[in-house]
Amino acid sequence: MKSLLLLSSLVSYTYSAVVPRAEEQVDYSGFKVVRLELPEANSDIEAQIEELAAHVLNPGKTSHLDVVVAPESVDAVTALVTESSIINEDVGAALAEEGELLIQEVPAESWFTAYHSYADHLTFLRDLQGGFTSQSEIFTTGSSVQGRALTGIHIWGSGGKGSKPAVVIHGTVHAREWISTMTTEYFAWQLLTKYAGNATVKALVDKFDYYIIPVVNPDGFVYSQTTDRLWRKNRQTVSSSSCVGRDINRNWPYKWEVPGGASTNPCSETYKGQTAGDSPENLGLRTQINQLRDSGGVTLYLDIHSYGQYILWPYGYDCNLVVHNDAQHRSLATRAAAAIRAVSGTRYTIGPACATLYATTGDSTDYTDGVGNATYSYTYELRDTGNYGFTLPASQIQPTVRETWEGLVSMVKDA
């Protein structure tokens, strides 16, 4: 999926298209790389674009064209389509930095039509970040049992890096919930690729700093791909048992000791661990939450799971307790569920976690509420309601990520 284009070879390749005499070097100062979203029937428009562009970087693509354009032609080219974004502001300046002369192709939307390996998910994040270096960076927070860094992307808007309160999004804490990886990645992809051309998205990105970790349980995720598709936990051992794995979402050190919402049996799917927070993955995640709490604060926390189609908020550990801002939680969730349903009819059930679904102790949203001081903490349980369960077909990835995106948009607007 990674496509690198050496600009030095671009120069020689486009030479004849730009100037008639092959001996002269083209001066690309001020030239821009523009991404143009194409309408369905586009042959006519494509021809007009090619006439105006110095070079087409991805000929044959049906969804969009990336073109190198002279500064005086940018307006004419972008006027041909309804959606466009500038990927590179100055091709000439990039050429001047010999040794780093490459355009890293931003992942295409076709990424969201299939499931992918863990290595490819890391490549996706790096390629995405590489296309938007002035408003994003890759970060890590701790590592897994087997030494894989918990890797995420930090996205910010016009206020600059770290200037706004945080929206924190975690995916794939349960290894088999593959649709949650795709959904969290889609959030990041939308926020960055639509920022320049979509006023709604720009407002969302300018409002908060986003910290998105698509796979917070990398060992379990890899194991679910290599060995056991339905693996849930991490890959941590205990001396007292031959069974493997803690449920990272029963391991957070807040109300961890309360009985009934997790298992003390290492062989159980919901094994809580030997002591509160004793998984390295949880250490990394709570360190992130605590740091953001102590800097700009956390406004919205989302933990993305599957399946069941629920939007849940604290508390998990006690079915009779009501969070102090329960009404506001309900209000945001109600509108988000309506926004999701408006896309393709998918119905979500909403409510406090314990009372609505089941009791959970040591879970993420109780921690982000009780210790992280997040204003809003939600668990999403994505499609479906059990027909396919964890093994949601690839054909449902795009419908799922698109509808869930509208839920995020709604929540961020309201938060």
Q: What residues act catalytically? A: 381
Residues between 112 and 131 that touch Zn ion (CB under 5 A): none
Number of residues that bind Zn ion (CB under 5 A): 2
246 binds Zn ion (CB under 5 A): no
How far apart, in whole angstroms, are the C-alpha atoms of residue 215 and residue 24? 49
The CB-of-382 to Zn ion minimum distance in angstroms stands at: 10
The CB-of-174 to Zn ion minimum distance in angstroms stands at: 3
174 binds Zn ion (CB under 5 A): yes
Paired tokens of 256: 């961890």
DSSP track, 351-412:
EEHHHHT---SS-HHHHHHHTS--SEEEEEEES-SSSSTTS--GGGHHHHHHHHHHHHHHHH
The CA–CA distances, whole Å, from 151 to 137, 205, 270, 346, 408 equal 11, 20, 24, 30, 21
How far apart, in whole angstroms, are the C-alpha atoms of residue 51 and residue 66? 14
Piece in contact with Zn ion (CB under 5 A), picked from 97-105, 167-175, 238-246, 317-325: 167-175
Piece in contact with Zn ion (CB under 5 A), picked from 6-14, 173-181, 253-261, 312-320: 173-181
| Nearest residue (CB) to Zn ion, 142 versus 308 | 308
176 binds Zn ion (CB under 5 A): no
The CB-of-284 to Zn ion minimum distance in angstroms stands at: 18
| Nearest residue (CB) to Zn ion, 242 versus 387 | 387
Asked if 192 and 126 count as a contact pair (C-beta separation under 8 A), the reply is no
**237: β partners:** 244
Piece in contact with Zn ion (CB under 5 A), picked from 54-62, 299-307, 328-336, 353-361: 299-307
Piece in contact with Zn ion (CB under 5 A), picked from 27-35, 130-138, 298-306, 341-349: 298-306
Which residue shows structure tokens 């005086």? 72
The CB-of-393 to Zn ion minimum distance in angstroms stands at: 19
329 binds Zn ion (CB under 5 A): no
The CB-of-249 to Zn ion minimum distance in angstroms stands at: 6
How far apart, in whole angstroms, are the C-alpha atoms of residue 51 and residue 77? 9
| Nearest residue (CB) to Zn ion, 209 versus 303 | 303
Asked if 94 and 131 count as a contact pair (C-beta separation under 8 A), the reply is no
Residue 317's φ and ψ, nearest 5 degrees, are -85, -15
Q: Cis before residue 301, ω within 30 degrees of 0?
A: no
| Nearest residue (CB) to Zn ion, 272 versus 305 | 305
305 binds Zn ion (CB under 5 A): yes
Q: Which residues bind Zn ion (CB under 5 A)?
A: 174, 305
